[in-house]
């Protein structure tokens, strides 16, 4: 059966007909053969790449699946499919996993259209044409980076699909996927614009490509390259830590220079995020969103709850177990039928048109993470040097509300290399909580099984659980795959 692939292709072509990234206006159903004639067509094609990422991936399921897989969160009820993610019994038929996979590959197909067809539009000046192609290659690299970390080797589709051509694609190796990612990001860093206008916020820039490159090199354990890229970003002088941690995530303060790249949302119906509702607890009386669905539930055994300094303002903002409700009444979550703490980083009390219509953007690369990448890479290369301490302590100072560039009482010093390594690991856990980083930090540092095995999960974690299952629909409908291509244990 090819039903799912035909649907994916149709969805991709409909996305291409979007006029604006956040204001979908279907023009008509055009084939790629006659649509790409000028710069407006090229921009429309580029706009379309983001819609599957916004809706199928980052609106709900990416955070849900990666947070529940980590030690930070749990899901005891009410959805057995999500509980299976938490206790490592998820199977290849999981619908949330399949929707996330489809979202990435829809975006990849749209990016492939941009890369191939925009390159053929001769009336666009070379520099501008390369910018748009670079945008396509950035989105493609970003999507494959997420896929390879989630699933291991995946089908590597670098040509767009229109019809049933190029559908049957075998799994590439992990190395082959990373080779493609790095090639795309090197092109993107050379050709993306340095900045974009306020009206173009959400499009990647050269800094976005560099930020993603730093993440990729850190994941690969190439600390020399991770350090070099992080320093290049810092030396541009274009990015900085905001003085106040909470303001980084405020819906009233979007477009600031701590974000190198983020997934954009708005309160318009069908163009919002679901995360304020997904992370919250306490029902419709919760002031942080239009609903509180308690999908991502706080785990009392997590390090962020047991060991995070209660005097750290970031903890006070990102985790909560009490609040004053919309009705003015004090609520203690421990005394409700959902007796666990909740996550408060994503807040939007005016998402009034539904639980998935919140305007909270989802951060992909922040300047704080670049500083932590520099600190980690420098420590791995040279030990805890002044450069490493400065990068780490800047993040800590801002987190505690101290001036960023002045010594403070929360500065770390006199650590061994191993102690500094652990300090960076913990700092990432705190600074980047709820941003989809923890699961991948556990994986790349080899700490997933040791840490998660100590937790009170119904089913123990094994090596097989370190990657997600390839969705069964992909196995069934991709003629180049069979059950032997499934990840072990699924």
| Tens of pLDDT, residues 261-284 | 999 999 887 889 999 989 988 888
Give mean pLDDT in consecutive 10-residue pieces for the chain, a chain of 490 residues: 36 41 38 78 96 96 96 88 92 97 97 96 96 98 98 97 81 98 98 94 96 98 98 98 96 92 90 91 83 88 96 97 91 91 90 73 97 98 98 98 97 98 98 98 97 76 96 96 97
- Separation between Cα atoms, residue 458 and residue 29, nearest integer Å: 49
Reading the block at residue 309, the tokens are 């300094």
What burial letters (b/e) apply to 25-61, b meaning 16+ CB within 10 Å? eeeeeeebeebbeeeebbbbbbbbbbbbbbbbbbbbb
- Separation between Cα atoms, residue 94 and residue 490, nearest integer Å: 11
- Separation between Cα atoms, residue 238 and residue 367, nearest integer Å: 10
pLDDT for position 68: 95
Q: 163, exposed or middle or buried, with CB in 10 Å at 0-12, 13-18, 19+?
A: exposed
- Separation between Cα atoms, residue 454 and residue 437, nearest integer Å: 20
Number of helices and strands in the chain (H, E) = 20, 8
pLDDT for position 127: 96
- Separation between Cα atoms, residue 188 and residue 206, nearest integer Å: 7
| Of 250, 251, 336, 224, residue with least CA distance to 286 | 336
- Separation between Cα atoms, residue 347 and residue 280, nearest integer Å: 9
Crossing angle (nearest 10°) for helices 95-117 and 39-48: 160
Crossing angle (nearest 10°) for helices 3-16 and 39-48: 130
| Of 108, 95, 150, residue with least CA distance to 11 | 108
pLDDT for position 69: 95
- Separation between Cα atoms, residue 240 and residue 23, nearest integer Å: 30
Write down all domains in the chain, each with its CATH number in brackets.
Answer: 3-24+31-192+467-485 (1.25.40.390), 275-360 (no CATH)
- pTM of this structure: 0.93
pLDDT for position 3: 38
| Of 360, 364, 377, 66, residue with least CA distance to 211 | 364
């Amino acid at each position: 059966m090819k039903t799912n692939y035909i649907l994916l292709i149709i969805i991709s072509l409909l996305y291409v007909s979007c006029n604006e990234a956040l204001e979908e206006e279907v023009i008509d159903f055009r084939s790629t053969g006659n649509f790409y004639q000028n710069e407006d067509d090229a921009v429309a094609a580029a706009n379309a790449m983001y819609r599957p990422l916004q809706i199928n991936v980052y609106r709900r399921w990416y955070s849900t699946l990666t947070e529940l897989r980590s030690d930070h969160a749990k899901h005891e009820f009410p959805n057995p499919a999500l509980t299976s993610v938490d206790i490592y019994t998820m199977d290849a038929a999981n619908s949330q996993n399949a929707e996330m996979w489809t979202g990435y590959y829809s975006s990849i197909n749209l990016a492939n259209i941009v890369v191939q067809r925009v390159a053929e539009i001769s009336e666009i000046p070379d520099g501008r044409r390369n910018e748009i192609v670079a945008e396509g290659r950035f989105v493609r690299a970003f999507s494959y980076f997420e896929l390879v970390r989630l699933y291991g080797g995946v089908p590597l589709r670098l040509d767009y699909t229109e019809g049933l051509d190029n559908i049957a694609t075998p799994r590439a190796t992990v190395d082959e996927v990373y080779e493609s990612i790095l090639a795309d990001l090197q092109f993107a860093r050379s050709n993306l614009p340095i900045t974009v206008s306020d009206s173009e916020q959400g499009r990647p820039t050269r800094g976005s490509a560099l930020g993603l490159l730093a993440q990729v090199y850190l994941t690969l354990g190439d600390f020399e390259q991770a350090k070099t890229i992080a320093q290049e970003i810092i030396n541009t002088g274009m990015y900085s830590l905001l003085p106040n941690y909470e303001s980084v995530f405020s819906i009233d303060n979007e477009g600031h220079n701590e974000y190198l790249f983020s997934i954009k949302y708005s309160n318009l119906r069908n163009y919002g995020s679901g995360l304020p509702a997904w992370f919250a607890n306490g029902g419709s009386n919760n002031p942080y969103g239009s609903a509180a669905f308690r999908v991502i539930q706080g785990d009392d055994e997590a390090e962020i709850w047991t060991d995070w300094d209660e005097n750290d303002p970031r903890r006070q903002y990102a985790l909560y177990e009490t609040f004053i409700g919309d009705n003015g009444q004090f609520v203690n979550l421990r005394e409700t039928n959902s007796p666990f703490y909740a996550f408060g980083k994503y807040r939007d009390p005016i998402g009034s048109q539904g639980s998935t219509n919140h305007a909270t953007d989802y951060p992909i690369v922040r300047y704080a993470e670049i500083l932590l990448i520099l600190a980690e890479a420098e420590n791995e290369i040279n030990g805890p040097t002044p450069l490493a301490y400065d990068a780490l302590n800047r993040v800590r100072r801002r987190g505690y509300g101290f001036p960023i560039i002045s010594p403070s009482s929360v500065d770390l010093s006199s650590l061994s290399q191993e102690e500094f390594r652990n300090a960076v690991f913990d700092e990432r856990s705190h600074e980047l909580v709820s941003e989809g980083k923890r699961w991948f930090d556990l994986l790349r540092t080899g700490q997933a099984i040791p840490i998660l095995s100590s937790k009170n999960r119904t089913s123990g974690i094994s090596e097989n659980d370190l990657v997600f299952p390839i969705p069964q629909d992909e196995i069934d409908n991709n003629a180049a795959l069979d059950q032997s291509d499934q990840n072990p244990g699924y």
